[in-house]
Amino acid sequence: MPAWLVTGGAGFIGSNFVRHALAHSDVRVVVLDKLTYAGHLENLADVADDPRFHFVRGDIADAASVDLIVREHQPRALVNFAAESHVDRSIDDPGAFVQTNLVGTFVLLEAARAHLARLDEAGRDAFRFLHVSTDEVYGSLGASGAFHESTPYEPNSPYSASKAGADHLVRAYHATYGVPSLITNCSNNYGPYQYPEKLIPLMTLNAIEGRELPIYGDGGNVRDWLYVEDHCAGIRLALERGRIGEKYNIGGKNERTNLELVDAICAALEAAMPAAENPALRERGIAGYRDLRRFVDDRPGHDRRYAIDAGRIRSELGWRPGHDLETGLSATVRWYLENRDWCAAVQSDYDRGRLGLAGG
């Protein structure tokens, strides 16, 4: 049975992808993950006993470890999720982003090149390197239009610049060395197992606990939201049927301002756990979750609007998102309500305090 090497498989999207791959493809899945603050074995607890699943703790920027894993498992595909992923942290500590996102991707590409050189022709034909990237590489949109695959790169944060650099390396390794690679550029994901530094879980947990809901700037920044399972399905389609050397944009056409989204989270929470029955709000005399909203200092370099044109993956690979924002959001809010132990475990050294003002 072929193996897929999934880097960053203990994080949010990676762990959802591991579950998706084991359920939908006849493959072994080998996860390589450093287990940073964002990576947790709890995210993979339900697949830990699957004989097709194997976990290795390690750093993608450590060439010797990567080489060893590739030689041992002889992967037919390498799917790279491993990254420092939070824009606010990239403002405070950009070096970690360059090291993992750029140097780490370079190390993986070198390992893939060496692996390909050892394979026979059939092995080389079958191998794929899929690099999971972001729409943030394209920069910021005005009031209209959407990112398509040929939109020029204009990254604005250290995070998006490091992801853009990695995308360029992947492209160059295809053009120069023939590494059979694909890149997917996706919009904002949400769903189970997302680390509570990101907008949706942070607002959900703050609201549950009666804490303020910090909205950056005027709350008018727009993001294009996609349920994580739909992203995973798109990645698997690109891996199994995508054209080598191509980029595929993935997005759900669910544009919302941050203020609209926070209001939608408050409404989903009100349906699942009415504020009147929440002791954390009652104690503070707060009648509704929306009363917790506060406008706070903006994120430095804050991109105004993202929107994805997913026409290529739709027409070439038949991809369609299966969740609309309202059903996906209420399922997500319920998941956080029902998984408070997970929330406590992953936040042992994080208090959801403000990050990313160092550059302001």
Binding residues vs ligand NAD (CB under 6 A): 7-8, 10-14, 33-36, 38-39, 59-61, 81-85, 100, 104, 132, 134, 163, 186, 188-189, 195
Confirm whether 136 is a catalytic residue: yes
Between 127 and 190, CB nearer to ligand DAU: 190
CB of 134 to ligand NAD, least distance (A): 4
Q: Which does 202 bind (CB under 5 to 8 A by kind): ligand DAU, ligand NAD, none?
A: ligand DAU
Identify the active-site residue in 33, 84, 138, 159.
Answer: 159
Q: Are 173 and 179 in contact (CB under 8 A)?
A: yes
Q: Give me the numbers of helices (H) and strands (E) for the chain, helices first please.
A: 14, 13
Two structure tokens written together for 250: 């993935």
CA atoms within 13 A on the CB side of 78: 30
Q: Which does 59 bind (CB under 5 to 8 A by kind): ligand DAU, ligand NAD, none?
A: ligand NAD
Confirm whether 149 is a catalytic residue: no
CA distance 102 to 271: 43
Q: Are 177 and 249 in contact (CB under 8 A)?
A: no
Confirm whether 42 is a catalytic residue: no
Identify the active-site residue in 135, 167, 197, 255.
Answer: 135
Between 16 and 258, CB nearer to ligand DAU: 258
CA atoms within 13 A on the CB side of 293: 20
Point out the residue whose Cβ comes nearest to ligand DAU.
134
Identify the active-site residue in 59, 84, 88, 136.
Answer: 136
Binding positions for ligand DAU, rule: CB under 6 A:
85-87, 134-136, 187-188, 198-199, 202, 214-216, 221, 223, 258, 299, 306
Between 181 and 189, CB nearer to ligand DAU: 189
DSSP string, 29-94: EEEEE---TT--GGGGGGGTT-TTEEEEE--TT-HHHHHHHHHHH--SEEEE--S---HHHHHH-H
In sequence order, what are the residues at sequence separation of 6 or more whose Cβ sits closer than 8 angstroms to the Cβ of residue 291?
none
Q: Are 81 and 32 in contact (CB under 8 A)?
A: no
Q: Which does 258 bind (CB under 5 to 8 A by kind): ligand NAD, ligand DAU, none?
A: ligand DAU
Between 180 and 234, CB nearer to ligand DAU: 234
Give the residue numbers annotated as catalytic, written as ranges: 135-136, 159
